[in-house]
Amino acid sequence: MGFGARSLLAGDLTGDGRTDLVSFNSGSDTASVLVNLGGGKFERRADVAFGGFTEVGALGDMDGDGKLDLIFVAGAITVRLGNGDGTFKGIVLTGDPMGGPVALAVGDVDGDGKLDVAAALYGDETAKPILVGAVALLRGAADGSLLPAKLYSADFNPAAIAIVDLDGEGKRDLLAACANPLKMIDTLAVLLNQGGGSFKPAALYPTGGQFPTSLAIGDFSGDGKIDVAVGNEYSELVSLFVNQGSGALGKALNFQGASIRIATSDFDRDKHLDVIGIAASSDRPAVGIVHGESGGSFRTPAILHPTRSGLSSLVVSDLDGDGVEEVAVTTYGIAEVPDGGAQVAGTVEVFLTAK
């Protein structure tokens, strides 16, 4: 990989039914494409150059041609159309220039059959006047380009974002995990979709943790409704919000767990969703799994699986085609080593699920 591997994406870039990986390398301003050869083996394709610093991205078929495209932030939210073979066209489709996007999500928010892009725009409490941050929605056009952004208020410092039909009305809503250093109360902001490009004012749910930076979506309680888990990076807490119906969420249920870059799957195949994330406080870098139980409860503490140093991102997907989801993680690497030491490139590690 390149240096400074910061985020990891998963999707079928070649159309062969296997899940490929894309690592964003902030130290070299590139993305490394790993094409899945089957059986848990990957081949690295030519890196994608961004021409500037970026560590935020997403995958989606923006132009509707059946091939995944690459969406990223490099001064603006930008689209590189996919060729369907793990490479991308040289044409760059650029949306509105904007500062501060720290997370992207892709989905058809306005119901027109074309994918849209939502962005979490971080605030700045030192600015005058204070920039509180916002959620931006850029509607997709038929050619894969993005229409001008529309901003929606959430809470201070949105750091993670998701697009999901939370209230079951058939329209996709916006969720944002927000860190509010002014009120010292971090929240999950829920913007319910009213149709026609409008949203209800954000409903704010305190997480009870510190610095929420990731979201995981799934039916944790087993009642058929979508629930939301929030990873609170500084407090090593995962906050679970159980869906009460009509898009309303219950009070946060907090449990100790690996709380950085969280994701979800049923790893032990007991029909209850588990939560996996990067553990911040273990003696050595590790990913941790907290296994789910009935009713949205969890068995703690997390079971730790040691890895190499400098973990930065994590994705969950079926990487070897066996119908069971696995875990891939990235490590940073070191671009500048004191006293002339050797540079260390970032890596991608894949954990295959035990059969």
Residue range 175-224, pLDDT digits in tens:
999 988 777 889 999 999 999 878 999 999 999 999 999 999 999 999 99
Q: Which residue type is seen at 127?
A: A
Across 15-19, 195-199, 224-228, 306-310, least confident range: 306-310
- Between residues 340 and 198, the one the model is more confident about: 198
CA–CA separation, 37 vs 351, rounded Å?
16
Closest CA to 232 of 266, 206, 203: 206
CA–CA separation, 132 vs 284, rounded Å?
35
pLDDT at 284 over 80: no
How far, CA to CA in Å, does 41 sit from each of 35, 317, 333, 351, 352? 9, 14, 21, 12, 11
pLDDT at 341 over 60: no
Contact between 278 and 261 (Cβ < 8 Å): yes
> What is the model's pLDDT at position 258?
86
Three-state secondary-structure class, residue 143: coil
Confidence band of 62 (pLDDT split at 50, 70, 90):
very high
pLDDT at 96 over 80: no
- Between residues 39 and 338, the one the model is more confident about: 39
- Between residues 161 and 345, the one the model is more confident about: 161
Closest CA to 228 of 179, 187, 281, 183: 187
Closest CA to 215 of 247, 187, 185, 191: 187
- For residue 117, the tally of other CB atoms under 10 A from its CB is 27
CA–CA separation, 185 vs 72, rounded Å?
30
> Which DSSP string corresponds to 100-152?
-EEEEEEE-SSSSSS-EEEEEE--BTTSSS-B--EEEEEPBPTTS-BPPPEEE
pLDDT at 48 over 90: no
- For residue 151, the tally of other CB atoms under 10 A from its CB is 14
Confidence band of 131 (pLDDT split at 50, 70, 90):
low
CA–CA separation, 214 vs 201, rounded Å?
22
pLDDT at 243 over 60: yes
Closest CA to 149 of 192, 109, 202, 201: 109
> What is the model's pLDDT at position 342?
47
Three-state secondary-structure class, residue 295: helix
- For residue 35, the tally of other CB atoms under 10 A from its CB is 18
At which residue do the structure tokens 């540079």 appear? 343
pLDDT digits (tens, 9 = 90+) for 101-127: 889 999 999 999 999 999 999 876 665
Confidence band of 54 (pLDDT split at 50, 70, 90):
confident
DSSP bridge partners of 288: 277, 304
Q: Mean pLDDT score of the chain, rounded to an integer?
A: 87
- End-to-end Cα spacing for the chain: 29
CA–CA separation, 9 vs 86, rounded Å?
13
Q: What is the mean pLDDT of residues 249-267?
A: 94
pLDDT at 98 over 70: no
pLDDT at 307 over 80: no
Confidence band of 18 (pLDDT split at 50, 70, 90):
very high
> What is the model's pLDDT at position 330?
87
- Share above pLDDT 70 across residues of the chain, in percent, rounded to a whole number: 88
116-121 and 298-306 strand pairing: unpaired
> What is the model's pLDDT at position 2?
58
Closest CA to 244 of 190, 289, 285: 190
CA–CA separation, 39 vs 203, rounded Å?
44
pLDDT at 338 over 60: no
- For residue 195, the tally of other CB atoms under 10 A from its CB is 11
Q: What is the mean pLDDT of residues 6-26?
A: 92
Confidence band of 90 (pLDDT split at 50, 70, 90):
confident
217 CA to centre of own chain: 11
pTM (2 decimals)?
0.92
Closest CA to 133 of 98, 165, 105: 98
